[in-house]
């Protein structure tokens, strides 16, 4: 009987800390909570950049070392073809002529098109560039 009581007390002492801290995490899949997949293209793939000005002001766009600044009027759309993929780390810089912050929303409407909608935002400094890395990932900076 004494051994049974000792075994019960030891078991209770070991179980008590587990019940005391009930803030534990269960691992699971992110099937419903992952969010959208990041936009990515195949490395070296020919791309078409489609830029939409959804602001009430003039925008300026520039691909560094390739083009001079291009002015985009409110509501205007511009398409830029991205060569054969030999140009490494392609950037597209954009800014508002009035100096206001901007928000770039990217999407992939089809296999070889990167669509960039530029809208006004209240959060300074806002987005200023789209960066397509050599591995095909797209980042908004």
What's the pLDDT tens digit per position in 104-141?
A: 999 999 988 999 999 999 988 899 999 988 888 889 99
State whether residue 4 is helix, strand or coil. helix
Rounded CA gap, 120 and 2, in Å? 77
Q: Which sign, positive or negative, has the C-alpha torsion 5, 6, 12, 15?
A: negative
Tokens found for residue 139: 């980042």
Residues 6+ apart with CB under 8 A from 22: none
The domain defined by 47-140 folds into Immunoglobulin-like (2.60.40)
Rounded CA gap, 83 and 77, in Å? 19
| Lowest model confidence (mean pLDDT) among 11-25, 65-79, 99-113 | 11-25
pLDDT of residue 112: 87
């Amino acid at each position: 009987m004494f051994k049974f009581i000792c075994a019960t007390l030891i078991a209770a002492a070991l179980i008590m800390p587990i019940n005391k801290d009930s803030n534990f995490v269960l691992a699971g899949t992110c099937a419903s909570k992952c969010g959208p997949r990041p936009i990515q293209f195949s490395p070296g793939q020919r791309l078409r950049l489609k830029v939409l000005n959804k602001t009430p002001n003039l925008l300026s766009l520039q691909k560094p070392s390739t083009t001079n600044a291009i002015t985009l009027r409110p509501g205007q759309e511009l398409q830029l073809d991205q060569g054969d993929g030999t140009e490494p780390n392609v950037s597209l810089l954009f800014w508002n002529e009035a100096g206001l912050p901007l928000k770039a929303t990217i999407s992939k409407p089809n296999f070889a098109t990167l669509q960039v909608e530029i809208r006004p935002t209240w959060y300074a400094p806002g987005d200023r560039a789209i960066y397509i890395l050599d591995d095909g990932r797209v980042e908004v900076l």
